[in-house]
Amino acid sequence: MTILSSRRPVSADRWPAPADPGAAERLLERFAALGPAEAALAGTADGAGLLACLGGNSPFLADLAVREHDTLLQLHDAGPETAVRCAMAALAATRFTAPRAQVAAALRRAKRQIALAVAVADIGGAWQLGQVTAALSELAEAALRLCVAHLMRTLHDAGRLHLPDPDQPEQGCGLTVLGMGKLGARELNYSSDVDLVLLYDPDAQPNHADGIGQLYTRVARDLVAMMEARDADGYVFRTDLRLRPDPAATPPAVSLPAAIAYYESMGQNWERAAMIKARPVAGDDAIGLGFLAEIRPFVWRRQLDFAAVADIHAMKRRIDDHRGTAAAGQGSPAERVAGFDVKLGQGGIREVEFLAQTLQLVWAGRDPALRDQTTIGALRRLARAGRLPTRTAAELCAAYRALRRVEHRLQMVADRQTHALPARPDELGRFAVFMGCPDSDSFARALLHQTARVRRRYAEVFEAVPDAPGPADGLVFGPRDEPPAATTTALQAMGCRNLDGVVAAVRSWRAGRPRAVRSARARELLDGVLPALLAALGRQSEPDTAFNRFDALLARLPAGVQLLSMFQRNPALLDRVADVLGAAAPLADYLARMPASLEVLLTPDAADPDPGRTLELRLADARSLEEAVEIARTTVQAEEFRLSVAQMEGLLDVDAAGLARTAMADAVITALLPRVLADHASRYGAVPGGDMVVLLLGKAGGREMMAGSDLDLMLVYDHPEDATESVGGRSLAASQWFIRAAHALVAALTAPGAGGPLYAVDMRLRPSGNKGPVAVSLASFVRYHAHDAWTWERMALLRARVVAGPAGLRARVERAVRDALAPRGDSDQVRADAATMRGRMLRDLPPTGPWDVKLRPGGQIEVEFIAQALQLVHGACSTTTRDALAGLAQRGVITEADADLLVRADRLWRTVQSMLRITVGRVQADLPRPAADALLRAADAGVDLPALRATLDAVAQGVRDRFGTLVGDPT
């Protein structure tokens, strides 16, 4: 078997030509002189091509080929995978109890052999980038584990450290080694150093005398020495400990409490980016994993943090300014790339890495599925989630692979950790030959093509947003009593009337009085966005109201850098926020209470297409039922805010919004029910064979939820007759067990939080209403609806949907609901009951004003009663009112004209109710202008309020007429 026989036929042209033919010939002679097998390999076309490539392009690889000739023979006979596997096996066979010199020799031998095998596999195209970097990373990790085990066992044998298990020195040793950067991501380059952070648990050696920190620091220094000290056998890996917390002020090994305290109080965005790739690679893995779990909130923030974008991009700009990283702008392609740094240069490897890490910092706190330590893996996940265009991700991945290939080939020449192309034309020409190109210009053109793609895509993410306008746009808010005339004129042109209030508030902001703008950075950002902010607020129909609401929002923010950074990098966000503040008091109040919800305005989607998946991803971090409820609450409230804004802006109609709100409610109940039951069982055991399902009724059952809709719930359980009580924990009678479980679910759904409860819950539609138990057995449910249910209860049951619980019980309950709703031949009684009930409501619950479209004569209640009464008479069609009316028309129960009128009325009434809830909260006789504008836009039923009122009256009269005809006279 030849080295690349699985990829290409045997020939010498698979290998790059030698840039130095004389050096190539010398290696062929040296290698052939080693023995018959070596001479035979040198005599083949493929072997000669390989040796000429190594000898004529890389002095380092030429020496390795001679010194490790057995490995080169093995590569030829069995391929690179076998050669690497054998080298790793030999290293694994080295005992950590061996003398240090023997351990060091084994490490260096493995490094030489794997370096040769990886280089040949890379140069010949047998391996892709992932295989190359994985092999190098696995070697580094194995070397680190052997070194740490050796050092710990040595200390144990000397009596300086006590190990719980001396035969497994790393377990319980108290020290963990985190691999950072390319080692952490398993992306080591060919001549890479390894970035490490060493942490120790000061409580791991409770009987140790003072100075445990100094002992672990000594271990750190010895580890570095074993890894990077050079001798006649070479070295293993260069090491870098500068990514540890505050490296200028901390020892090489840092205690866990000190590290955690640092990241929680002083950690910076670049350190968050670095920690994306961190993983334990040696020592006590449990300590490392525990530490990473502890600082997870520091790395992965649930709120979108666009300040991180600015910080990381600023760091890249400092690199560019300091190093002059741009390729030359003039001359031939070769002249332009001479001396170019493929890692730090503009359009280089670092820009791809920065882009991937930054987008992860922004989005992966909310979506754990985006977390990936590898650069290519992160880009692919971001593309799948829609956070990065698919074409952009594909181009970046291709460029990243190409640039890493150049980086590796640069480092193979002399085993130097270099990333810069040769600056001299002759040297660049020789390197182009090593890359397999005929000349330096053809190599340079290919390289410039890749860097241009990276630069363009990088700019789309980091630089597409224009600089924010400066504070000098005609607005001056100095400390004087009166602002300049130009400022007053500008504010008046924006529509502000309370000029003194606006000026006083802005002066207080710029003076740093609100907590959110006390930092110099926040005030700098404020100055930059202030003109655009005031202009956006001034475009509202009531600018002073919008301004006051923004002032209230700013006053409640704990910090303003994140918000102002979002405004700076997303100018369109200002207009959306201003629209919310200007038009909807409830949404403005919610923003003031929950400023983090601003982030939902950044996403283009009006609704979450898969709320169940989103919720489950976020619940993956929950360690208790209480945490799960809190995560669900914040998710629901953020989604409700998103949907309400989308409705107000006309991006989402009432039908689509109702489906989205209901999908979220379904997802919450589906996710919380098993968690609540498991928590309940941990205290009271379980009823053998028993289980519970949740039915939604009302607007939630009909998939028509609006802002502020309650959850109308019914809980039904079943268990074997012989299972009379729970087993395990504190035993309860079966019925009592399920009743308490139902209370626990309701408590979870209604638990108060900073922004209110998850949902308001109404259980009055259960059998026997408030007088009955909160959970009913399936048998009781069947009996009740067979003999005792009132007509109004059967009407309510038409909207019942089973949304959570085991499949078998769900099917039985759904069958019981269908049986309860089967027509009973009592059509006259049903119509009479429905008409009487509506008449009672008109008497006892009159409408509160002209905008109460639910209770008014001919309003929403009457549309729903028509659909429900006719379905009880003729058979159910759907839980959703509009679909039920369409189904009744298809069956000839009502005319197409009646169905069109009633469906139109249903949509109009829900639109009005929903928009009024979003903009003003309570129904009012006199609507504020912003609410009226939003209502007119959503209802599309009149050019002004009088015209809309006339439309509502006409539609209501039509519904009232149909109610009398189809159901009966309610009066």
Tell me how many degrees the CA angle 677-680-681 measures, rounded to the nearest 5.
85
pLDDT in tens, 40-86: 999 999 999 999 999 999 999 999 999 999 999 999 899 999 999 99
Confidence (pLDDT) at 928: 64
Is residue 477's pLDDT more than 60? no
Instruction: Look at 319-328, 539-548, 700-709, 933-942 and tell me which has the smallest mean pLDDT.
Output: 319-328
Confidence (pLDDT) at 860: 93
Is residue 850's pLDDT more than 50? yes
pLDDT in tens, 376-425: 999 999 999 988 999 999 999 999 999 999 999 999 999 998 999 999 99
CA nearest 645: which of 598, 611, 699?
598
Is residue 585's pLDDT more than 70? yes
Q: Are 746 and 713 in contact (CB under 8 A)?
A: yes
Percent of the chain with pLDDT over 70: 89
Coil vs helix vs strand at 767: coil
Q: Which residues contact 190 (CB under 8 A, 6 or more apart)?
A: 115, 118, 119, 122, 132, 136, 407, 408, 411, 412
Crossing angle of helices 881-890/860-874, nearest 10°?
50
Coil vs helix vs strand at 281: strand
CA–CA dist 111, 108 (Å, integer): 5
CA–CA dist 346, 320 (Å, integer): 7
pLDDT in tens, 505-533: 887 887 778 888 877 778 878 878 888 88
Is residue 685's pLDDT more than 60? yes
pLDDT in tens, 299-355: 887 665 555 666 666 666 655 655 555 566 678 999 999 999 999 898 999 999 989
Is residue 470's pLDDT more than 50? no
For residue 177, the cross-strand partners are 198, 282
Instruction: Look at 106-120, 517-531, 701-715 and tell me which has the smallest mean pLDDT.
Output: 517-531
Q: Which DSSP helix (H) or strand (E) runs through 802?
A: strand 801-804
The residue-averaged pLDDT of 551-563 equals: 80
CA nearest 50: which of 22, 37, 35, 31?
31
Is residue 767's pLDDT more than 90? no
Give residue 549's pLDDT band: very low, low, confident or very high (50, 70, 90).
Answer: confident
Is residue 744's pLDDT more than 70? yes
The residue-averaged pLDDT of 922-948 equals: 70
Q: Are 675 and 927 in contact (CB under 8 A)?
A: no
As given in the structure block, the two tokens for residue 767 are 């059998």
CA distance to 676, 736, 892, per residue, from 888 (Å): 40, 42, 6
Is residue 153's pLDDT more than 70? yes
Confidence (pLDDT) at 480: 45
Q: Which residues contact 504 (CB under 8 A, 6 or more apart)?
A: none
As given in the structure block, the two tokens for residue 625 are 């039922």
Report strand pairing: 253-255 vs 279-283: unpaired
Confidence (pLDDT) at 358: 87
Is residue 792's pLDDT more than 70? yes
- CA 696, 702, 708, 710 torsion: positive or negative? negative
Confidence (pLDDT) at 252: 94
The total number of residues written for the chain in this structure? 971
Confidence (pLDDT) at 924: 60
DSSP 883-926: HHHHHHHHTTSS-HHHHHHHHHHHHHHHHHHHHHHHHTSS--SS
Confidence (pLDDT) at 258: 92
Confidence (pLDDT) at 883: 95
Is residue 9's pLDDT more than 50? no
Is residue 136's pLDDT more than 80? yes
The residue-averaged pLDDT of 667-675 equals: 94
As given in the structure block, the two tokens for residue 16 are 């790059």
As given in the structure block, the two tokens for residue 350 are 């670092």
Tell me how many degrees the CA angle 229-232-236 measures, rounded to the nearest 5.
40
Q: What is the CA radius of gyration of the chain?
A: 36
Average predicted confidence (pLDDT) for the chain: 86
Note the pTM of the prediction, 2 decimals.
0.59
Is residue 606's pLDDT more than 70? no
Is residue 261's pLDDT more than 90? no
Confidence (pLDDT) at 2: 42
For residue 801, the cross-strand partners are 696
The residue-averaged pLDDT of 932-944 equals: 70
CA–CA dist 429, 951 (Å, integer): 80
Q: Which residues contact 650 (CB under 8 A, 6 or more apart)?
A: 937, 938
Confidence (pLDDT) at 413: 95
CA–CA dist 134, 88 (Å, integer): 13
